[in-house]
Amino acid sequence: MFETATPHLHSIRDLIRFAVSRFNEAQLHFGHGTDNAYDEAVYLILHSLNLPLERLEPFLDARLLPEEVSKVLAVLRRRVEERKPSAYLTNEAWLGDYRFYVDERVIVPRSFIAELLRQHLVPWVEYPELIHSGLDLCTGSGCLAIMMADAFPDAEIDAVDLSPDALAVAARNVEAYQLGYRVNLLQSDMFASVQSRHYDLIVSNPPYVDAESVATLPREYLQEPELALGSGDDGLDATRVILEEAPTLLNPHGILVVEIGHNRDILEEEFPDLPFTWLETSGGDGFVFLLRKEDFNRV
């Protein structure tokens, strides 16, 4: 199909139609920046042609050079045949207006915490200038650490990950945002390397997929680092460590924010005495919890 398509595709409109048909035919799975075949096709085509991602209409019927068509088709073909997430094909991922470099060494950034950081965690953080120290646990590409540094300009941020490969990607993003003087990258198994430190704010988007779900993940997700996905039988092994150790690292009035996927019911059943505050996000109020230092003191 891809081999015979080139002579019949002349415009971006043609390519979009062709891509959507092939994506639907292949029953691709979406969820790494887009959630449907059309948006994914538009993104890949505009990116491949070095066109602005937010302006499709002026270019829809522009005739393309044969080499441009071939370039786009090569990317579309890889998306279909390799089931590679688009972010790995373009080496970029977006969280709102923030662009990050990504490759197969890190999970593709997608976090409801990013939405909350863009809002400066209001109303839970009343005065952003009072956040002087922050920790991004399981930082991956460094995206949340960078957004923390932007949201709280008086804070020094530690960004921790077990994977040296992930930290290499994070270093590239930290450098791109010129935040090397405020974001410290640390290789650590959870809190092991920061036991002597204390923070006003700790955020984490740890692995939280349960074993049963990991076993049935679509091929797109299986191309991400396994270390960043699964976390024990019920998906909460990393979260348990966080709840056990984070309280000793929080400053008085410090805040802990953690994303846990679809595990709210299990978590609340296991920790009935913790007064979780569930934060409202675009996905609902069951994916990110907040606890304050004093909440742990009541248990």
Q: Indicate if 105-297 has the same CATH topology as 2-90.
A: no
pLDDT at position 284: 84
Mean pLDDT confidence for 96-123: 95
Helix (H/G/I), strand (E/B), else coil: 43? helix
In this structure, are residues 133 and 201 in contact, taking their beta carbons and an 8 Å threshold?
yes
Q: Determine the longest span between alpha carbons in the chain, in angstroms.
A: 70
**pLDDT of 152 strictly over 80:** yes
Domain ranges of the chain: 2-90, 105-297
Question: Residue 114's pLDDT band (boundaries 50, 70, 90)?
Answer: very high
pLDDT at position 299: 58
Question: Residue 263's pLDDT band (boundaries 50, 70, 90)?
Answer: confident
Helix (H/G/I), strand (E/B), else coil: 258? strand
pLDDT at position 243: 96
pLDDT at position 231: 77
* CATH among 1.10.8, 3.40.50, 1.10.10, 3.30.1370 for 2-90: 1.10.8
pLDDT tens-digit series, residues 187-230: 999 999 999 999 999 999 998 887 787 788 889 898 888 877 77
CATH for 105-297 is 3.40.50.150
